[in-house]
Structure 1
Amino acid sequence: MKIYESYEDLPKLKLPYGNEVFISDSTIRDGSQMPGIVLSREHKIQIYEYLHEIGIEKLEAFVFNKRDRDAVDLMFDKGYEFPEITGWARSSRADIDKILEVDGIEETGILMSVSDTHIHSKMRLSGREEAEERYLDALQYAVDHGLKTRAHLEDMTRADNYGFVFPLVKKIMEIDPDCIIRVCDTVGYGMPFMNIDEPYGIPKIIQHLKKEIGVKNIETHIHDDYGFGSASSIAGFWHGANWTSVTFLGIGERAGNSEMEKILLFLADRVEGFDKYNLEPVTRFAEFMEKELGLRVPRNKAVVGKNIFAHESGIHAAGVLKNPFNYEPYPPELVGGTRLLLIGDSSGLEVIRYKVQETLNNLLDVETVVEKDDRRLLKIQKEIQKLYDKEERVSCISDEELLAYVEKYFLYQPISDPARTGRGKLKNRGKIQEPVEEKE
């Protein structure tokens, strides 16, 4: 019989192909295109620092103007091996020349719009033949100048993959067998389910590239318009992709991108053999993005939301106090978070007792124990519940408010243990008692 009573008891999942997988960050590039977001050089450098601390393998950056290039130069000045700084270019020799001007960049992505709507209405090309000619010329130019390449197959989940994209990929591989083929789900039409084929099925696309064409390096780049971003990125790994392109907090155009922190957590906590990423900085990273960029991180957002380890209801709070595994899927310290017990309209006596005891410990700087039948505790509970019963309160009780209750009912009662403090012993700890004088 299997018994699951702790985090260590739970089995880890295994990637079916046993493939090593990697993360490529696009926060500085794609994330900067989010409406209302302006990344200064200082912002980019700090984001780079967080990515380095986490252990992300690559990032991509624009180098079209001076401020972009200055930021990239400052990143190189750090001397870090990771994340590797890579470029981004449209399918033009002029764009690739911009990449070549930056000392230190050895790889670039090349945008290749593959859906018919992009070929005709966005790029104003005559058709697929002209598009292919342009894409392969840019790729060959980059390779001839010593660059490693990524082929960004934009809008692939609305393209004729069997009729156009897969044959194009074969020609790309002839030019650069090590090219990373980026499967771009540009408007989030892709689905993570195995039984879906042309043009939406991410697993089918990955498997065709891997098994039928023999692509060595496959990367997903998923937008989150239908909420499948992170799921589709993980599905890519599950079916043979070895890279995914993500942004921190999923920032980006429209609904954004696959969220780095979710994918990192899934790999580190649920998949066997992933101990290369340090998730402790992600909560600090999120706080930085909120403070410096004005982003609003929802309180209930997975991994980094302020409520992830917050407990108010009586059942949940009591369960967590007994064993965090009861209601927390992973320990707070894994992602740099902190457990928070709150007193609200659904809180039971146990969480109030815990919070009162915690407040006393901080107030007196000694270890104290408050019993559940302490009548002072019951008075505090009654006062708090009266606020909610009369609908005079629509928020949780703050620590400052609880301190006032503790001072009102406990401050002048002897609750400390003189064996530790030397200030008088106490019978029946936590009950109202008269102190007993110390004797020589």
Structure 2
Amino acid sequence: MAENRPVLLDVTCREGEQRPGCSYATEQKAEAVRALDRLGVEYVQVGFPIAGPQTDDVCNAVAVDTKLTGIARAVPRDIDAAVDAGVDVIDVFAPTSERQRTELLGKDEDELRSLVGETVDTARETGLEVHFTAMDGFRTDPGVLDRLFNSITAEYLTIADTVGAKTPFEVSSYLDELTTDPSQLGVHFHDDLGVATANALTAVTQGVQKVDVSVAGIGERAGNVPLEEFVVSIATSDAVSPPAIDQSTLIPRANDVLDSLDESVPGEKSILGEDVFSHESGLHTAAMLDDPSTFEPFDPSMFGGSRTLYFGHQSGAGAARRLLIRAGIDPTDNSVDRLLEELHNLDEPVPTEEALDIAQRL
């Protein structure tokens, strides 16, 4: 196993509010931060301090070990606002691709490098930890990004796939072209092509140190790298060491974040959906009564989750036989048929314990 252990920066509170019509109250954000702190996430991005007083309010409302970060444009008043808000980390950002740099800033490469350098230096003079994020970084010429990164000093230099345009193949080739030490790098992906998690996994296998994530992928447009998908994918492989969080509480803590923000996910959502570890198919439940791993990629209890086996009209003789054995009843052809008749006549499927009760009443 490689020694690299990714560092997580959770962006749920900020990215979630960038969706049309979405906003969170101060206490909602504070509760989310506390849940992420209990999980052990290293950084939590609270908001955009210059946009209003809420970042300050959240920072004052929590006492946590996780480092609270606020984003700041490369302008002095944004740095001042971040300091006044009480964040632990100032994350300076600026557009670096030719398209966004010229459209949003109207500056050439040298002017951009000067602007970012001066702003990062100003941020560092505050004594706070400083990160820099290259907005639209993955559409920036690698040479341009290397020159920019080499001109500044920050704890992490994050490359953002701002429009969600990249795939793992392109992420891999792009990182290969950079000369910047990957242990200094972070990545920020959007899921517009449905490959944000795969992109993040590709990045960390190439030595990238920090990954921006959000619970359930909540974020602008198609969302960001889902924290739970990223953690579970690494924990169930041997490509890199897993993030230093409490994996055993991953699912309940993620659900705490969703509850605090009044967010929900579809039943089929990977890792967090209520249907993900529920099984009714006759073939599946019959086998899983003996060996759950037959039809599961991992034991959900590793991450604080649980499975539910259901029995009803889809149940077959194999499942009925195993239920009878568990209930201490001889699984004769007659008892199997009687139990199947009871299960098939149910209005809706029942979980294992209720199915065992039915078997014991035969």
The bucket for the TM-score relative to the shorter chain is: 0.7 to 0.9
Measure how far apart 1:96 and its partner are: 0.2
What amino acid is aligned across from residue 30 of structure 1 in structure 2? E
Determine whether 1:296 maps to 2:264: yes
CA distance in 2, matches of 1:275, 1:38: 29
Match of 1:397 among 346, 349, 352: 349
Match of 2:227 among 254, 257, 260: 260
Greater relative CO (CA pairs within 8 A, separation 6+): 2
- After superposition, the Cα gap between the structure-2 partners of 1:37 and 1:280, relative to the gap in structure 1 and judged at 3 Å, is farther
Counterpart secondary structure, 1:23? strand
Measure how far apart 1:294 and its partner are: 4.3
Measure how far apart 1:226 and its partner are: 0.4
Whether the 8 Å contact between 1:107 and 1:148 is mirrored in structure 2 is yes
**Structure 2, unpaired ranges of 5+:** none
* TM-score, with structure 2 as normaliser: 0.87
**Correspondence for 2:26:** 41
Measure how far apart 1:166 and its partner are: 2.3
Counterpart secondary structure, 1:181? strand
Identity %: 24
CA distance in 1, matches of 2:16, 2:281: 37
Counterpart secondary structure, 2:188? strand
CA distance in 2, matches of 1:125, 1:136: 17
Match of 1:189 among 165, 187, 191: 165
Matches within 5 A, 1:234-253: 234-253=201-220
Counterpart secondary structure, 2:159? strand
Measure how far apart 1:43 and its partner are: 1.8
What amino acid is aligned across from residue 381 of structure 1 in structure 2? L
Match of 1:68 among 47, 55, 69: 55
Matches within 5 A, 1:38-437: 38-62=23-47, 63-64=49-50, 65-75=52-62, 78=63, 80-81=64-65, 83-103=66-86, 105-121=87-103, 123-162=104-143, 164-172=144-152, 176=153, 178-193=154-169, 201-209=170-178, 212-214=179-181, 216-271=183-238, 273-274=241-242, 276-289=244-257, 291-352=259-320, 368-373=327-332, 375=334, 377-382=336-341, 384-385=343-344, 396-398=348-350, 406=358, 411=361
* TM-score, with structure 1 as normaliser: 0.73
What amino acid is aligned across from residue 72 of structure 2 in structure 1? A
Bigger share in helix: 2
Whether the 8 Å contact between 2:182 and 2:207 is mirrored in structure 1 is no
Whether the 8 Å contact between 1:34 and 1:256 is mirrored in structure 2 is no
Whether the 8 Å contact between 1:37 and 1:293 is mirrored in structure 2 is no
Q: Deviations over 1:112-144 (max 9, x none)?
A: 1012222233x2524444333322221121123
What amino acid is aligned across from residue 205 of structure 1 in structure 2? Y
**Correspondence for 1:19:** 4
- After superposition, the Cα gap between the structure-2 partners of 1:275 and 1:147, relative to the gap in structure 1 and judged at 3 Å, is closer
Measure how far apart 1:335 and its partner are: 1.8
Whether the 8 Å contact between 2:31 and 2:260 is mirrored in structure 1 is no
Whether the 8 Å contact between 2:36 and 2:253 is mirrored in structure 1 is no
Counterpart secondary structure, 1:226? coil
Counterpart secondary structure, 2:132? strand
- After superposition, the Cα gap between the structure-2 partners of 1:243 and 1:399, relative to the gap in structure 1 and judged at 3 Å, is closer
Whether the 8 Å contact between 2:13 and 2:29 is mirrored in structure 1 is yes
**Structure 1, unpaired ranges of 5+:** 1-13, 194-200, 359-367, 388-392, 414-440
* Paired residue total: 359
CA distance in 2, matches of 1:158, 1:295: 32
Q: Deviations over 1:85-135 (max 9, x none)?
A: 1221011100000112234x34211111012222233x2524444333322
